[in-house]
Each structure stands twice: as C-alpha cells, then as structure tokens.
Amino acid sequence: MKRLLKRKMALFAVLFLPSFCLAQTNAYRLFGSSIRVDRASHWENWIYQNDLVSQLNVPIRDADIFRVDADGLRPTFFRRNINVAPTAVDFTYPDLVRANGDLVSGGATAKSNDALANNIIDGDLSTFWEPDTPADFGSRLTRPGDFHLDGLRDWEIEVDLGRLVFADSLTIIFPAGQFEDEFLGEPVKAFVLFASMGERFPFPLGNNLKFSVIGQVSTGFVAGKLAQCVRDESAGYAGETRCEGGGGGETGEVTLVPMPGTEGRYVQMTFPLLPLDRADWDLDGRPDINGAFIHYVRIKITDSDLWRDAFLGSGEEARLAYEALSQDQRGAIIYQRQTAGGLLVDLQNDDNLTAAEKYQALPEEKRGPTLYYSKEVPRIAEVQVWAKGDNYALQPEKRGGASFENGGLGAPHLSTDGLYDSEWVANTWSPVYLKGTAWYDLGAVFWVDNVSVVNKRINQSHQGAFLGPDILISDGTLLKPVSMEDREDFPQLEESLKWDNIISEEHVDNHGPVVRIFRETFPYRKIRFLQIRDIDVTGNQSGRYGALATLAEIQLYGEGYPVSVWAYSPPITLTDSRGNFIRKTLPRIAWEGDVIVRETDPLTGQASERIEPLDLHPDVRLQVQTRTSDQTDTNFTYYQVVTVAGNEEREEVTKEVYDEIALEWTAWEIWQTLPASQKHASRTDDDGDGLTDEDRIDLIDNDGDGLVDEDGRKLRRAPRSSFDKDGELAFVGWSEWSESYLPTNGVNEATITSPNPRKFVQVRVNLSSEDPFKTARIRSLRIELAPPLSLELAGELALLTDEGATRVPTDLSVQTSDYTPPRNIDPLASQQFAYFIRAAEPDPTDATVRDGFNEVLVVAPRDAHLTGVRLGQVAIAQKPSLLNPEEVLTSATTTKFDRAFVLGDDGVLRDVDGEILERMATGADSIWVRFHFSLNTDLSAGQHALIEVQFESQSFREGIEFASFVRSSDSEEGVFQRVDTADKDATELVDSSTAQVSLMALPGALIQDVVLSPVFTPNGDGINDELLVHFVLLKVQEKRPLDVAFYDLGGRLVGQGQGSAVGGKVGTQAFVWDGRNMAGQLVPPGIYLCQIKLEADEQANKLTRLVHVAY
C-alpha cells in the first residue's frame, strides 16, 4: 500500500512537442521559494534536444556531447591525434562476423594468460601482459603454463577496439629490462603485427576475420643500444613518429627506440599504417593516403629463448650471479654428466628423480659442470592505436542525431554504427526516382577538417565502390524554414539548407580506379549535416537497381568543442504539500557560468584548461530561456484497490473517490509519524478552541485559525482499500520560449519574461562558441518562486486615436473610438500609447499576498514618457476554451473608470484631490509608479481591477513586446509578477489582444532617417572637424554586423567611421569620421562617398550619401 501511495505522490509526466521522457524530479530541487539546479545528478537528468527535429532527444547522461561533473554542465572537447585503445572497453557492438550478431564488448584478449590481456590497453605502463609462466624453473614440469616451445603458439593477443577507427599508426611499448634497481621485463624477441577492418574471411560470407600483416619484426633488444625517437603530434592529421640511429637503418624504419618521457624505462616500436583496401585514385600502384581503417589488432609472438635467454656461466661465480637475479629472471639450471668418452650430457627430470637429484647421486668424477642461465621475461606494456581523433559521425543517435534515406534500400545509420560489415546500400542516384539519397544529422555543429570514407567490398556491381561519390555538407544555415518532427522529414533538408560540396575534382569519377577508401581534407569548417549520393557521371547506371555502392563507414574528424548545444530541463511541476499543482509567480531567474579555454603546451603537447569569466569572451555565449504552461492533457483511469481472498482487485472509480482514498492514506502515513502527545483524540477539543474534530489531517487549515490539522479524530487503522491509476500526464499549452536572459547590472540574474504565475515551467540552456578551443559552462540555475499577487493579470496595448489623445486622463467617460490596435505604426515617429492591465484578486490561500499589489512597471523598447494613469474596474465573463475545455478563458465586458492621475506642469502626477502618484527611479525606457493603496483587493464578484497607463514612445522593431509587471511595495525588492499579454483581453475598449506592435511598411531598406552634414572641414580649428552620421535601423531581430565606410569616387576605401557599438541593432545609431584615411593622414579635399552597410538575414542593406571635405 505504501508503494501505491508513493505512486500517487509522484505523478508521471510526458511532454510533447518536443517529446521528452517522463518528467524527472531528480533534475532539480523544489523549495518553497525557489527551484534549484546545482548538482551533477540534476544536470544528468536534463535532456539534450535536437533543435531542428522535435522528436530527437536523449538524456544528458547518455549524450557523448556533454560532460557533467560537480562543477556543472559543459560540452565535451572532441580531440585530435588520440590513442583510442584505452577506450575500447567502453564500446559494445553486435559482432556480425564471429558471433552471429550477438553483443560483444571491446577490449583485449589473449590465448595465454588472458586475465592480463586488458593491461596492454589500460594506459598504465606499470601493468603488462606476459605469457602464462611457471613460478620457477623447477616447477615447469608440474605447472608448465605456456612457457615452452609448444606453448609459444598461444602467445597471441588480440585487441578489439569496439568500433572501426581511422588510424595513422600502431605503437607497441615494452619494458626495457633492468632500470636502476628494478627489473621491469623485456621486449619480446620477435612478433608479427596484424590488423583487420572487420572484413569476412573467406570472402564474402565467412565467419572469420581477414587480417593483414602490418609488420613482421625481430626487436633485437640490446640494453643501451637504442635508436632515438621523437613523436610529433602536430604533424599531418594524426601526428607521426620519427626515429633515427640505433643501428636500425634508414630514418623512419620500424625500430626499437626509447619511449619519450620514461627515462629509458620503456622502449617502443611504431608501425605506420596504409589502407587495407583500394585507395589509389591515380593508379600509380600506391595508395594516395596514409592511415588505415582498423577495428582489430593482433600480435603473434613468434620467437623466444624461454628459460635460456642468456648464459651466465658455470661454477660458483655463475651460481652467485644467478642467485643475485630476481625470481622472474632466474632461468634454467642445467646439470651435466660426464660420459666415459669425456662428453657432457644434460641430465633430465623423470618420473622418479629430478635432474638435481640425479646429479647429487653421481660419483664426483662423473659430475660435469652446472650451467646457469637467465630467463627471458617477455612482456608487453601497452598497445597504442593512434587515430585521427574522436569521430564526430559515430552513432549520432546517441546525441539526438539521426539519418534517413528517402526510398531505396535504406539503412543509412549502418554507415555510422562503427562497423565495417554493416553498410548503407546506395542505389545510383537519379533525379527521376526518390531513392539513393541519404541525409545525416550529426546532432550538433562541429569543427571538421577531414572526412574519411570506406566502402564495403562486395562481389557484384562495382565491387561496393561509388561510381562517383557525391558528398555535400552543411552547418545548418537555413535558406528557408523547415518543420521537422522526426527523421522522416529529412528530405526537407535538400532544399532548405545551404549545402557545400567537399569532393575534390580528382575523386568525382571512380569508374576506373574503383577506390573503396578515400579521404577529403579542407580548412576548418562547421559541419552538422551530410547529404550523400552515388552519382554516375556517365549517366549509364543512374537510377538502376543493382548498381550499388555499399558505404560501410563515413567518419569526420577535427578538433574542438561543439559550436552550439542545447540542454532542456524536464517539465518542472509546482505543487503544494498535498502534491496538487499550484500556480506560482516566477519573479527572477539566476545562473552561474563561466568560460573554459583549452590550451596546448607547444613543448610538451599537454592540454590544459583554464576558467575565465564570460564577459571576457564575447565569442562565447551562455543563453538561458524559459517557457511556462498551466495546461495538462490527462487521460487517467482511476481505481479503488481491495484485497479479496488474498488477491488484489481493482474497481474503476471517479477521480473524486480516488483523491479521497489517497488523502486517507496520506493522513494515515502522517498519523503514524506523530508522537503520542500530538495524536488526536476523537470527540475531544484537542486545540482548546471550543470546537471538536474540526481540523482533521488533510493538510488544510479547515477552521481558519492559522494552524493545520490540529484537531481531528483518532485514526485506529489503515484505510481498508488502496488506490491506483493508469495513464499518463502530458504537459501542453506551452508559451513561446522567452528571449535569452541577459545579466542585470553585471549580475547573472534577470526578470522572468515567460507568462506567470503558472503551474509548470521549463528551462533550456544554450552553450555556444565561435572559437573551437573555448566553450561555456553552466554551474547552477535558480528560479525564484512567490505566491501570486494577482490570480490573473492580462495586458493589452493600444494606440490613442486623435480623439483619445485630446481627451485628458481626468475625463473618465472614455469611448472605444479613443483607442485602436497597435498596428501599422510609423517607426520614425513617436506614438501615444495606452497600456491596459486587468487584475484579479490576490491568492486567497496565502496570507503573505492578501494585500495584492500597489506598483506597476511598464517596459517599452525605447524611451517612454508617462502622460497619465486611469484606474477603474472591468466586468468579466468566463467560458471554457474551445481548444481545451479544462481551460477557462476570461474576457472583459464593461469598463468603468473612477479615478485618474494627470501630469502637471511641474512634472508630478496628481488626481483631482491632489494626491500624488509616486514615480519610482528606473531606466528611460521604463515607467514605474507606486500607488499608496492596493489596486486589486476588495473586488466585487465578477469584477477585476483595471489600470490604464498612457505614455509616449517609439518602436523600431516589428513584433517587439511592451512588457509590464506588478509588485507589492511590501514584498522583497525586485520581486515582480509579469502581466500576461498573449491573446489576452484586458478591456473591451480595444480589440488588440496583444502588447506587440506592428510597423507600417516603409519604402527602402532597413536603414532609415539618415542625417549627416554634406560638408565638413577637418582642419583642426575646433569647428565642424568631425562628420557625425546618424541613422535609424528598423526591424533587426538581433545584433548584425554594421559598418560605416568612406570611399573616393574611384571606389577605393579611404576611411572608416567609428561607432559606439560593435554590432547594429534596432534604434538610433551614431558614427564619427575625423577625415583621416586608413594610414591616419587627412584626406585631400573633395567629394567622397559615405556607405552604411548592414549585414541582414537575407542580404546586405546598403545606403550611400555624398560628403564634401573642405579646408
């Protein structure tokens, strides 16, 4: 039953558009006065949402694109030139070749001493693999292990990387023998190194892997005689190792060399890799690229001296040398018998006697010398696989990405799953048929400079190769809007994105070379989307079935933090102590964040990160946005659960019955925790107020005395029945996402602009950077909560007509003809506005807000000048919404004003009785007034308070909202409640249902109202020495590159205007030119061109004026 109670108290929630998993209460902490996100466990339960495709999202904890720790949430850095072997154990995949598709894990295995196999890929040089070896020479017969000639066949190790990688080289690291007083082990004598992509053997349907020989070497290890080796991580795309000297031969030859940074403790051999399949476009017999796709590495040790690695001698001196060795190094002890002919014969162990026992039984004259040997101690410390980097294209589904083919044989995700033997089968493309095109969304924008491709070899068609690879890439720049819910909508991308081709000219036609492995390199660029086709340049195979390219893998490499990532909170539900949803005001949001800067030491190659403030890096952004809702779409079936003959039976009941049973269980749970002194007695006045049993345990103050559940009946037993329900709770009716919040007065906090009070809130965070080596991090997030000063606030903006503008505010007989909706506004002229605020009573259940509000704040997009205020009431009517019957819509029916404040000649607002309306200090774009009485208390039934604020202001931007807030002067400073303006009806006097303006269409561009002197004289006399250029920008949504430049009549740039802002945004702009050219010298007198240029969304807007320079 307790299980059922907990189920009641934790409601399941599913969010649609986009669709998230069930709401996670462990994604935040809910306090009485705030919501906080400040723990690693919170961020892990947020969602990474694909910002273009609504149904694609994954939990942050599963997304490889994020890193979460105690310091907060940040994007992952994608590396270049990395050893991928240590991460092999992190990958699990379906082994199609050897395990019939069963899941297997990456890692190392060995035929001998398998328990130590993973030591060679753990990144720790102090651990190692060695063959299974007896403890000493004497126990080799009873426990031989694999340390004998027959066992040598099992000295074989295989490294399964867990996925296909493109690698530059393989490095094998060995201990270098004796180092000071420590013996570390020694390199193996000889081995063969193999690699495999994962291709089947025998081809094409075998169940084994095809391995290719990478190198067959004898290490020739001699202590103190090693070549010198340097690994250059900055060379090429994955670094390189250069080795010289040491008796090896030519530079670059595979040689045993000291491992840098180990002071001689370890030595290594590095094997450069070449493609394991056709990669020769120019048909010169050599592959055109270095490196290889590999999935498996195998090391086969082929030689060993076993117990007789080095002869120490015979006699006492040799014995002492033998005993001075560590136990690991002590090799064979050979006892010899002298024959009658003077020959020496080695004594052997048999079933009865050991060689030593036989030797002791010989007469002195028959005893030959005793020979002592050191033992070979073959060990491998590490196997390093030097890959190009972290593959951006690997399993993009894990970061909210996806792939799709429109028609055709379709499974493009198989070319990004990390396996060679699974592939996307591409029909040769034709514009006539809907097939043969695959689109890939990597889930985020990455910094990329090379793309590598491998086609799976098949024994038909063009042997799996492209006839002509056609690969287009995009950073996500939209040429026209898209509306995508799932991957099936990807065909929209073809016409909606700006695409660029990355296939070089020499790779367009693959008819002759039949290349199956190739790479395209280019300067750093942003990539998120791919479009791939197989195109026959001859047209002979276009659109034909059977003309197939089999794309095994496409891999993208580069370096840096993702350009932009979004993290979404699950829906945050605001509840009371009984678990019921309640509306709360959301006054402010605050956050903590910083910038992470990654640097690499040019000498050591070691990477480090430093933390710096956000305001020092304008190219890094941390954006926080919110949205709110009051609506749910419930589809529950409620049950009463009873136990009959030991079995639970469910009976469907109404929600009211369900809630009553749930409350009974809540009361019982509370009763059991009460101390005996606080438990109620039936028919008793427990609280001494003269009443009995009037305030039972239901978490409500039933008698209005300020105490909760203090006088009820004694509970003798648990309820007889329990409760259950089926179904889900979905959150719907979300507001639009707010604008990104900006710091206030240098502090990372802001007033929440999403509609509130509301029952549900959701937050999303964007971390973006234009520098691949910088990123933003968010450490914590806090949303303040407060009880509503008004249960409903509705705002509506109007323009005053000529009739309304002439009516003074003290004239309370207003007419509908005084107002008109804020449409077709001239942005170059100041306008007279009226802002209406309709307010319901305060929350009656919370004593802290019983006095409502007495302050009003209106925020305009430009400077605002208050002219008057009217107060009154408005009758309301309520009816269910046609879209959501559970939502009640309020409309205004009859407005009546009874009081007004008008601006006097002294700049003070007074009513007819001389009472002053206090104006609070605020910015020039805001109007903040305080009344000396509550505006929304003592309201009659069916009545709301109505405030009209009249002011003059201007708007340069289409759709900009005039925001408004209310506040109680008794509340904590800064705690405002926002007025709802979306589709709200504040008064019947105007039918606008909005607080946004719509601008009239002006002829010309976005640059308007240009003012500059046609002549100026930069002669240093202090008069007209500088040219001032003033103009207005209209309708610009956000800052855009803005430039004011000066040219001579030949079109040559001679000067640059200096402005106060780095980017242009709506409003008045000012630039200055001192008449000097780019070299700082005064320009000659004459006529020049002043060009104002704004980079807008679709094209550059330019405006040119003539300027005369005279002296």
Identify whether the C-beta of residue 309 lies closer than 8 Å to the C-beta of residue 137. Answer: no
Average per-residue pLDDT for the chain: 88
Closest-CA residue to 423 (of 293, 277, 295, 552): 552
When pLDDT is cut at 50, 70 and 90, the band that residue 1002 belongs to is low
Residue 511: burial class (beta carbons within 10 Å; 0-12, 13-18, 19+): middle
Answer yes or no: is pLDDT of 456 > 80.
Answer: yes
DSSP string, 377-399: -B-B-EEEEEEEE--TTS-GGGG
- What does the pLDDT read at residue 509? 95
Mean pLDDT confidence for 620-645:
86
Q: How, if at all, do strands 14-15 and 729-732 pair? A: parallel
* DSSP conformational letter for 241: E
For the segment 466-483, what is each residue's pLDDT rounded down to a tens digit?
999 999 999 999 988 899
What pLDDT does residue 162 have?
A: 97
CA angle 317, 320, 326 (to 5 degrees): 140
Confidence of residue 974 (pLDDT cuts 50, 70, 90): low
Mean pLDDT of 160-173: 97
Cis peptide before 94 (omega within 30 of 0): no
Q: Tell me which of 357 and 43 has the higher pLDDT.
A: 43
Beta-bridged to residue 647, according to DSSP, are 644
Please tell me the least confidently modeled range out of 1-10, 298-307, 308-317.
Answer: 1-10
18-27, 31-40, 122-131, 811-820: least confidently modelled range: 18-27
At 246, the pLDDT band (50, 70, 90 cuts) reads very low
Bridge partners for 429 per DSSP: none
Order of strands, sheet of 1058-1059, starting from the edge strand that comes earlier in the sequence: 1007-1012, 1027-1033, 1067-1073, 1058-1059
- Biggest alpha carbon–alpha carbon distance for the chain: 142
Residue 586: count of CB within 10 angstroms of its CB: 24
Whether 1021 shows a pLDDT value over 90: the answer reads: no
Residue 668, pLDDT > 60, answer yes
- Does pLDDT of 109 surpass 90? yes
pLDDT band at 342 (very low <50, low <70, confident <90, very high): confident
Strand bridging mode 424-427 / 212-218:
unpaired
How many angstroms separate the CA atoms of 149 and 392, rounded? Answer: 46
Q: How far apart are CA 275 and CA 89, in angstroms?
A: 25
The count of other CB atoms within 10 Å of the CB of residue 153 is 13
Contact 1109, 1095 (CB under 8 A): no
Output 20 or 429, whichever has higher pLDDT. Answer: 429
3-state percent helix, strand, coil for the chain, nearest multiple of 5: 10, 40, 45
- Tracing tokens 């009946």 back to the chain, one arrives at 713
Phi and psi at 816, nearest 5°, equal: -65, -25
> What confidence score (pLDDT) does residue 186 get?
94
pLDDT at 166: 98
Q: What is the residue type of 381? A: A
Percentage of the residues of the chain whose pLDDT score is greater than 70? 91
- Band (819; pLDDT cuts 50, 70, 90): very high
Name the pLDDT band for 10 (thresholds 50, 70, 90). very low
Average pLDDT over residues 1012-1029: 86
> pLDDT, tens digit, for every residue of 783-806?
999 999 999 999 999 999 999 999
What is the amino acid identity at position 1092?
A: I
The first and second tokens of residue 951, run together, are 């002011």
569 confidence band (pLDDT: 50, 70, 90): very high
Helices (H), 779-877: 802-806
| pLDDT value at residue 929 | 96
Pair 516, 454: CB distance under 8 Å:
yes
Residue-level pLDDT at 170: 97
End-to-end Cα distance, the chain: 95
pLDDT score, position 989: 96
Q: What is the mean pLDDT of residues 189-193?
A: 96
pLDDT band at residue 19 under the 50/70/90 scheme? very low
The C-alpha R_g of the chain, in whole angstroms, comes to: 40
What domains does the chain contain, in order, with CATH numbers? 2-77+566-633+731-784 (no CATH), 85-303 (2.60.120.260), 310-374 (no CATH), 391-557 (2.60.120.260), 637-726 (no CATH), 793-978 (no CATH), 1007-1109 (2.60.40.4070)
List the single range of 109-113, 121-125, 565-569, 1015-1019 with lowest mean pLDDT: 1015-1019
State residue 1093's pLDDT score: 84
- CA torsion angle 1000 1001 1002 1008 (round to 10): 70
Question: Of 175-189, 628-642, 916-930, which gets the smallest average pLDDT?
Answer: 628-642
Task: Return the pLDDT at 1037.
Answer: 58
Q: Please check the confidence at residue 13 and state whether its pLDDT lies above 80.
A: no
CB 694 within 8 A of CB 700: no
What is the pLDDT, as a whole number, of residue 4?
33
- Looking at residue 85, the DSSP 8-state letter turns out to be G
Least confident piece of the model among 230-234, 366-370, 1087-1091: 230-234
Confidence of residue 247 (pLDDT cuts 50, 70, 90): very low
pLDDT band at 404 (very low <50, low <70, confident <90, very high): very high
Mean of the pLDDT values across residues 128-145? 92
Residues 6+ away with beta carbon under 8 Å from 494: 437, 439, 531
Contact between residue 778 and residue 771 where contact means Cβ atoms under 8 Å apart: no
Q: Which of 440, 383, 482 is nearest to 54 (CA)?
A: 482
**Residue keyed to tokens 């259940």:** 845
Q: What pLDDT sits at residue 32?
A: 81
Cβ(860)–Cβ(938) below 8 Å = no
Q: Which of 193-197, 426-430, 822-826, 1053-1057 holds the top average pLDDT? A: 193-197
Tell me the backbone φ, ψ of residue 586, rounded to 5 degrees: -115, 85
pLDDT one-digit tens code per residue, 859-878: 998 899 999 999 999 999 98
Give the tokens for residue 292: 């290889």
**Those residues with Cβ within 8 angstroms of residue 839's Cβ, 6 or more apart along the chain or in another chain:** 790, 792, 793, 852, 853, 935, 936, 944, 945, 946, 947, 966
CA gap 462, 1058 in Å, rounded: 62
**Residue with the two structure tokens 């009463």:** 640
Q: Place 1003 in a pLDDT band, splitting at 50, 70 and 90.
A: low
- In this prediction, what percent of the chain has a pLDDT beyond 90? 60
Q: What are phi and psi of 707, to 5 degrees?
A: -110, 150
pTM: 0.76
pLDDT in tens, 223-233: 545 444 444 54
Map residue 3 onto helix, strand or coil: helix
